[in-house]
Amino acid sequence: MNKLSLSAFAAGLVFSLGLLLSGMANPEKVLGFLDLFGNWDPSLALVMGGAIAVGLPLFTIAKKRTTSILGAPIQLPSKRDIDRRLILGSLAFGIGWGLAGFCPGPGIVAAGALKSGAFVFVLSMIGGMWAFRWLEKRHRPAN
């Protein structure tokens, strides 16, 4: 296993453990955060705040570099437009998150922990990705 693969595995492992330990792979915890007018659980906001506190300085450093510490190219998104695709994608994400209590990372972690509802979510997510690619190909102008 090369250094890049090992570092990717380590990052994924730390991320997964963080999701499990913080309870973010538990859909009831997420739905409790989204229930503003019921029994609201603010712990997800603390997890998000912690992630921002860790990520912000690292992304600031990454913007100034062209390669990672291991020598891989750094490719940060450059598009900043708020367009129809972004809004519709955000709405689809939010609706799915609110209905299922999962987003992609925690859904995959929960499926790995053999939570049955997570399998339905992950299969639906894969189906949505497939449908998106199919629609993109149909609406892409011919060259």
Domain ranges of the chain: 3-139
Q: What is the dihedral sign for C-alpha 120, 107, 131, 83? A: positive
Each residue's pLDDT tens digit, 63-116? 999 998 888 899 988 888 999 989 999 999 999 899 999 989 999 999 988 988
Residue 110, exposed/middle/buried by CB under 10 A (0-12, 13-18, 19+)? buried
Question: With left for phi above 0 and alpha for psi between -120 and 50, is residue 44 left, alpha or beta?
Answer: alpha
pTM: 0.76
Q: Is the pLDDT of residue 13 over 90?
A: yes
